[in-house]
Structure 1
């Protein structure tokens, strides 16, 4: 369904300490794979401080991302599914975070297009939200 490298950057985690920790967990695989510098995470936090919870795009779903100049080194995405959702400052609870990093605007749009195909499939999204282990989540997304 999605690129193989992405399937290696997904995980189910029981809980995160808070929304900042959830974002960190979602971005760490991108940093580990060399697609983003550690400062990319700070760029996301700064954007949220300035613009609010703009990364929440649907109930229970957030897409943490920042501008390329904040430390993007490549293009890719990772996913973290929390068994216990975290609450953002807006009061919304999020249990699924898909972190994006893009080297340029065109790559960003291409990734959003690919992800949109996934997000509009209610059956797939239901299975994702029900997954309790990383292996289950990987099987759904392959």
Structure 2
């Protein structure tokens, strides 16, 4: 499966978030702006962390917010939000978070594959810092495949 493209409306730079819930909701808003999800998806991503803890913090400074496929997912896609100030998610090793990636998939197989592909991008430890420094949505998109 090829990585879905990252449309310009799915990128937000320098977003202010008071806490991790607002940070995740910002990623949900970016997914919704891109037409990937409906308005309920952001709340489902927050509920995943409420239910399972900060497992979505996948690398230093990076959270990969997602929820299971459901009717509020219109198509498989992702979004990237950089935060004006880092936010604590409660992860013992990778806090604070400066980059929140939102991901939604229409099918369970695409969900598993997509989460893995996005997570693998951050094997390059310099990517999170480069994204956090980006000053425009085009700069973010230029750093990603």
TM over 0.5: yes
**Aligned equivalents of 1:86 and 1:16: distance in 2?**
7
SS of equivalent residue, structure 1 residue 68? coil
Q: Deviations along 1:91-120, whole A, 9 cap, x unmatched?
A: 731111110001112111332343244212
SS of equivalent residue, structure 1 residue 99? strand
Measured after TM superposition, the shift of residue 14 of structure 1 is 4.6
Q: How many residues align?
A: 140
Q: Choose the corresponding residue for 2:135, options 99, 118, 132.
A: 132
Give the number of the structure whose residues are more often helix, by fraction: 1
Matches within 5 A, 1:80-95: 80-90=81-91, 92-95=95-98
Superposed structure 1 runs of 4+ greater than 4 Å apart:
none
**Aligned equivalents of 2:129 and 2:25: distance in 1?**
24
CA RMSD of aligned residues (A): 2.3
Name which of structure 1's ranges 121-130 and 34-43 shifts more when overlaid on structure 2. 121-130
Name which of structure 1's ranges 16-25 and 119-128 shifts more when overlaid on structure 2. 119-128
Matches within 5 A, 1:99-114: 99-114=102-117
**Aligned equivalents of 1:78 and 1:19: distance in 2?**
16
